[in-house]
């Protein structure tokens, strides 16, 4: 889209390259469609630049969108997010400025489902611990040090059966797992049958039966601390909790206590609160815990697809067309 005077629309991004900056490899593609402006450049000349910005590309929650920023961007039309979760945005505030919002569900689901399965397998087969044994000088271990949990035939409970949850079920089916799920709305029977998943009306019955519980819900006021002391106590003492959703879906203090006292067997966490955890956090000291730094979708292809999806949404908004993945405040 070319604006009046032959200028490309201005797109605000956090930074390029470094931590929380959009990847260098995406820049040529973005530059085909937009004039890119970084937060640093914007802050240096807020008054002149602010009027020109029509879109923001939020890369891993940055820049932070607050009232002050929105007030300095009078021509802002759209904010595109580089993921599916929108819990870092005040949707009502953004909408009150007449700004549209979009996320990137198509790009996200497969790679995030892969992350969930990678954590499940790594935790079950104690990959981090055995890697450390393998690289230690002595290579001495007893069988108990490397004995894992059998995944084939085990019961997986998926909490949140949106597109990521469903892709996890597809993968788990290939591992011959017994699949349970809990979701606000039940999936169609054909969809359940296609992956061999059984609906649990209550989360409690899922927690009681599962060997692996995978959290895939969005963070909302309803899912905040969805898993607390009571829920952990419902789980089997041998069960593993896998969280690829958001740290705040779990009561982290209750989780530490449950892992320390053997209320549950293990945890594999791609998300924590905060991220990263402070160096002295008890979760970092437990042998039965694996932590990854919000890997989520982070694969070469998926991150690029996210940028493509963001561009599609931004161009639609700037052309007054429906956004392919618009997110509305609830």
Ligand X SMILES: O=C(O)C(=O)CO
Note the residues at the interface with ligand X (CB under 6 A): 83-85, 108, 112, 296-297
Q: Is the peptide bond before 63 cis (omega within 30 degrees of 0)?
A: yes
Min separation Cβ 313 and ligand X, Å: 14
Determine which one of 15, 275, 308, 326 is catalytic. 275
Q: Output 101 or 108, the one with its CB closest to ligand X.
A: 108
| Cα–Cα dist 158/323, whole Å | 30
Min separation Cβ 235 and ligand X, Å: 23
Q: Output 85 or 160, the one with its CB closest to ligand X.
A: 85
3-class secondary-structure state, position 142: coil
Min separation Cβ 94 and ligand X, Å: 16
Residues 273-308, buried b or exposed e (16+ Cβ, 10 A)? eeeebeeeeeeeebebbbbbebbbbbeeebbebbbe
Q: Output 83 or 157, the one with its CB closest to ligand X.
A: 83
3-class secondary-structure state, position 267: strand
Determine which one of 129, 246, 309, 312 is catalytic. 246
Q: Is 192 a catalytic residue?
A: no
Query: Which residue of this chain has its Cβ atom nearest to ligand X in the complex?
Result: 296
- List helix spans (H) across the chain: 27-33, 39-44, 46-52, 67-71, 91-96, 105-124, 127-135, 143-146, 163-174, 189-195, 203-209, 229-234, 252-261, 300-318
Q: Is 246 a catalytic residue?
A: yes
Render 11-64 in DSSP notation, one character per residue. Answer: EEES-BSSTTSB-GGGHHHHHHH-EEEEHHHHHHTHHHHHHHEEEEEEBTTBS-
Residues 43-77, buried b or exposed e (16+ Cβ, 10 A)? eeeeeebbebbbbbbbbbbbbebeeebbebbeebb
Min separation Cβ 83 and ligand X, Å: 3
Q: Output 81 or 209, the one with its CB closest to ligand X.
A: 81
Min separation Cβ 263 and ligand X, Å: 27
Determine which one of 187, 294, 309, 312 is catalytic. 294
Q: Output 235 or 297, the one with its CB closest to ligand X.
A: 297
Q: Output 179 or 297, the one with its CB closest to ligand X.
A: 297
The CB-side HSE value for 42 (13 A sphere, CA atoms) comes to 23
Q: Is 275 a catalytic residue?
A: yes
Min separation Cβ 16 and ligand X, Å: 21
| Cα–Cα dist 165/163, whole Å | 6
List residues with catalytic annotation: 246, 275, 294
């Amino acid at each position: 889209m070319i604006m009046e005077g032959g200028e490309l629309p201005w797109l605000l991004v956090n930074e390029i390259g470094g931590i929380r900056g959009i990847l260098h490899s995406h820049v040529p593609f973005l530059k085909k469609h937009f004039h890119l402006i970084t937060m640093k450049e914007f802050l240096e000349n807020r008054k002149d630049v602010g009027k020109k910005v029509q879109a923001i590309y939020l890369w891993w929650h940055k820049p932070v969108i607050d009232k002050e920023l929105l007030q300095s961007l009078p021509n802002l039309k759209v904010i595109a997010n580089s993921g599916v979760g929108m819990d870092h945005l005040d949707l009502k505030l953004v909408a009150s400025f007449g700004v549209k919002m979009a996320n990137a569900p198509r790009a996200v689901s497969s790679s995030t489902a892969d992350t969930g399965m990678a954590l499940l397998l790594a935790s079950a087969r104690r990959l981090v611990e055995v890697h450390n044994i393998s690289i230690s000088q002595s290579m001495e271990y007893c069988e108990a040090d490397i004995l894992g949990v059998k995944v084939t035939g085990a019961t997986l409970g998926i909490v949140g059966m949106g597109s990521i949850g469903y892709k996890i079920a597809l993968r788990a089916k290939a591992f011959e797992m017994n699949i349970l799920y809990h979701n606000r709305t039940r999936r169609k029977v054909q969809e359940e049958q296609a992956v061999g998943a059984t609906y649990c009306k209550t989360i409690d019955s899922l927690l009681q039966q599962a060997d692996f519980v995978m959290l895939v819900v969005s963070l909302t006021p309803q899912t905040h601390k969805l898993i607390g002391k009571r829920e952990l106590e419902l789980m089997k003492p041998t069960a593993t909790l896998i969280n690829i959703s958001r740290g705040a879906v779990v009561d982290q203090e209750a989780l530490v206590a449950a892992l320390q006292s053997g209320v549950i067997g293990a945890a594999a966490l791609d998300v924590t609160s905060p991220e990263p955890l402070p160096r002295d956090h008890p979760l970092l000291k437990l042998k039965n815990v694996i932590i990854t730094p919000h890997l989520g979708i982070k694969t070469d292809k998926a991150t690029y697809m996210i940028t493509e999806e963001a561009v599609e949404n931004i161009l639609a908004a700037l052309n007054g067309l429906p956004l392919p993945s618009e997110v509305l405040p609830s």
